[in-house]
Amino acid sequence: MVEAFAVASGKGGTGKTTNTLALGMALAEDYDVTVVDADTGMANLLFHAGLADVDVTLHDLLVADTDAAVSDAVYERYGMRVVPCGTGLGDFRAADPARLRDVVAVLAADTDVLLLDSPATLASRSAVLPIVLADRAVLVVQPTIPAISDALKVQEYATSYGTGVAGTLYNKVQDPEAVERVAAKSGRYFEGETLGTVPEAEAVRAARPSASPSRPSTLASQMRDLHSSMSSSSPGRRSGSRTAYLVSKASRPSTRSR
C-alpha cells in the first residue's frame, strides 16, 4: 500500500529539491517511486531532472477542464517516475492548487512511495496542501537557528493536520561534530529521528542542474541510510494510510510514463 512523504522545509535554499531527487533514487532501488514537484509557484525540479523541455507538466493537470491525463505528465527518470511542474507565471496563475488532491490520488494508485517536493513556505493553504496530503513529512534543515525554527513551524503545522514526521535531514553541513550537538539539542523538539546529514560540498555539487543529476558518493550513502531509517515502518506497505484513502475514493487509470 502506498505511502506519501512530503519533503519540506520552512525556508528556501535548504536543498529540499535535490534531496528529494536523491532520496527518490535511493528508494527506487527497493520500491516503485514517484516524485512530484508540488511547488507550483517556485518549481525547479524539472531542471535537476533534465525535463526542462517537456510538453506537459503538473500545471497542465491543475487547470480546470484540462484535456491532459495524469499519465501525460509522468516521465521515467533514473529508475523512478517524475512529475515536473512548469515555471511559467501564466501557467501558475491558471492552475488551481486544490486539484492537487485528485492528481495525488491517481498517482498513488500506481506506486509504492510518493515523494512530494513541497513549497518552502506556510504562506497559504495551497502552499501547505502537499503536507496535508502526505502521510509523513521529511524535514530538510540547515543547521542554523533560523532554519531550525522555521522547520519546527512546519512540523507544528503538519502534526496539526495529522501528518506524521519521519524525521529530520540536516543539509549543507560544514562541521559534522557541531551538527551532532545541534541535533542532540533540537531533537527534543523534533518528532521522528535525525535521518542523516549531508556535507556542504556534496550538497553543492548535487544541486548543480544538469541532464543527469549528480549523486556524489557521500550523498548517495546518506540517502541509503535515510532510506533505511524511513523503511523502519515499511514505506509503501502501511495499512490505513491517508493516501490509500484518497486512492479508494478515486478512479484508477494507469499513470505509467511514456
The predicted structure's pLDDT at residue 215? 47
Going by DSSP bridges, is the β-strand pair 80-83/136-141 parallel, antiparallel, or unpaired? Answer: unpaired
Q: Tell me the C-alpha distance between 109 and 252, whole Å.
A: 6
Q: Residue 138 CA to chain centroid, in angstroms?
A: 8
The predicted structure's pLDDT at residue 240? 53
The predicted structure's pLDDT at residue 239? 42
What angle is formed at CA 37 by the lines to CA 23 and CA 205, rounded to 5 degrees? Answer: 50
DSSP conformational letter for 212: S
In CATH terms, 3-248 corresponds, of 3.40.50.720, 3.30.360.10, 3.40.190.10, 3.40.50.300, to 3.40.50.300
Sorted by where each begins, the domain ranges of the chain are 3-248
The predicted structure's pLDDT at residue 59? 92
Residue ranges of alpha helices (H) inside the chain are 16-27, 45-48, 58-61, 89-94, 100-108, 129-133, 145-160, 176-186, 200-206, 217-230, 242-248
Q: Tell me the C-alpha distance between 210 and 215, whole Å.
A: 11
The predicted structure's pLDDT at residue 217? 44
Report residue 155 as a C-alpha cell.
Answer: 512540523
Q: Residue 41 CA to chain centroid, in angstroms?
A: 15
Going by DSSP bridges, is the β-strand pair 80-83/33-37 parallel, antiparallel, or unpaired? Answer: parallel
Report residue 96 as a C-alpha cell.
Answer: 488551481
Q: Tell me the C-alpha distance between 233 and 236, whole Å.
A: 9
- Show pLDDT as tens, one digit a residue, over the chain (258 residues): 789 999 998 777 778 898 899 889 888 888 899 999 998 888 888 888 888 889 999 999 999 888 999 999 999 999 999 999 988 777 778 888 889 999 999 999 999 999 999 987 776 666 789 999 999 999 998 888 888 899 999 999 999 999 999 988 888 887 777 778 887 878 788 988 888 777 776 555 555 544 444 443 444 455 556 656 665 544 443 445 676 656 655 544 556 665
The predicted structure's pLDDT at residue 224? 59
Q: Tell me the C-alpha distance between 241 and 2, whole Å.
A: 7
Going by DSSP bridges, is the β-strand pair 164-173/33-37 parallel, antiparallel, or unpaired? Answer: unpaired
